[in-house]
Amino acid sequence: MKGFAMLKLNNVGWVEKEAPKAGPVDAIVRPLAISPCTSDIHTVWEGAIGERTDMILGHEAVGEVVEVGSLVKDFKPGDRVIVPAITPDWEAVESQMGFSQHSGGMLSGWKFSNYKDGTFAELFHVNQADGNLAILPDNIGIEEAVMLSDMVPTGLHGADNAEVAYGETVAVIGIGPVGLMAVAGANLRGAGRIFAVGSRQVCVDAAKFYGATDIVNYKDGSIAQQIKEATNGKGVDKVIIAGGDLETFEEAIDIIRPGGIISNINYLGSGDYFKVSRLGWGCGMGHIRIIGGLMPGGRKNMEYLSNLLKYKKLDVSPLLTHKFDGLDKIEPALMLMKDKPRDLIKPVVRI
Ligand code: NAD
Ligand code: ZN
């Protein structure tokens, strides 16, 4: 079978590989829709997780099951499924402790395009099918559904980790597709005022659609200064970071109120450390929490999140700015994600 791979750092291309085989609890899936992620860009062009050789990229897909192992109970060939980007080993002790994303070690629940071949292929392998696949509801289109693999769960995880509550003021820094879903998540959780920090018009329009009440352009000067001015110096209850770099944490610390939470979902692709200002952190006594999280995967989460689309609580269609047909189009779609033209939010490829 063919797949689109990271050949080595800074290098991508097509590879031919043996078709994957299902172990007793696994499934083999043929993708129906896939989407490239900014994380693929960090992996290939920033070397964020180190060298990988001929590893098929991609971790966002909906597909059709073509084979299941002998012990799989709830899925069969022909089922149309949502495949989460994170597919934990559910028996691992980290999973038992509530951190299935790290089953087997830091970030180890993230297997596709990290520890094994990903979804940009004619076929791909899913570990623990009963625990990691979810049936695609009939009334959700495949293009929308593929946003359930990663964009929806990641953005909402940012809002969950920030523990956004009714009426709170939240700042979302970075409004690409992940940040936009964080805006939507903050809104669903009942935030009152939502600052969306971004610059591209297509993202600003989408942020307003998802519930942003205030737009801050980080290219107009310090984010902290602009948000402080708009909040009479008080800052915000919660900050969700979904873009920027290590320096973004310094701005976040400057705008968070005592007892607030800074929730990072950005994949920090380069650099070594970030600074926390002593005074901003209340001389170490400000009750400010900083948390960073990988999205939760697994079947139940996919089933719950698909209900948001199925019952029209969340509309992901504004994210889908670029649509392609055919597996071979994953290459231009990935390059769009790398180059980030001004009219792009998220490309999707139908197969
Ligand atoms: P994106 O590049 O489309 O969006 C990020 C946005 O932030 C861009 O529009 C960029 O212009 C903007 N930005 C850059 N510097 C900024 C600054 N200083 N202040 C404010 N905005 C700034 O990326 P995306 O696809 O939305 O993904 C966001 C991040 O989430 C990426 O790092 C991605 O790898 C990561 N990610 C994490 C998870 C997870 O599980 N935690 C899952 C998927 C993606
Ligand atoms: Zn991703």
Residue range 247-281, pLDDT digits in tens: 999 999 999 999 999 999 999 988 999 999 999 99
Indicate whether 196 and 109 sit together in one domain: no
Domain of residue 66 covers 2-150+295-350
Atom of ligand 1 nearest to the CA of 199: 11
Please work out whether the CB of residue 176 comes within 6 Å of at least one atom of ligand 1: yes
Q: Read off φ and ψ for residue 288, nearest 5 degrees.
A: -95, 130
The confidence score (pLDDT) of residue 269 equals: 86
pTM of the model: 0.97
Nearest C-alpha to atom 25 of ligand 1 is from which residue? 38
CA distances for 276 relative to 242, 265, 281, 286, angstroms = 18, 17, 7, 12
Q: Residue 305 is part of a domain; what is its CATH number?
A: 3.90.180.10
Residue written as token pair 């290590």: 246
pLDDT tens sequence across 176-190: 999 999 999 999 999
Mean pLDDT of the chain: 97
Same domain, 202 and 242: yes
The pLDDT value recorded for residue 270 is 87
Do both 172 and 59 map to the same domain? no
Residue 343 identity: D
**126 in ligand 1 pocket by Cβ < 6 Å?**
no
Same domain for 163 and 268, yes or no, is: yes
Q: What is the 3-state secondary structure (H, E, C) of 34-64?
A: ECCCHHHHHHHHCCCCCCCCCEECCCCEEEE
Total number of domains in the chain: 2
Pair 186, 231 in one domain: yes
Q: Report which protein residue has its CA nearest ligand 1's atom 20.
A: 174
pLDDT at 48: 87
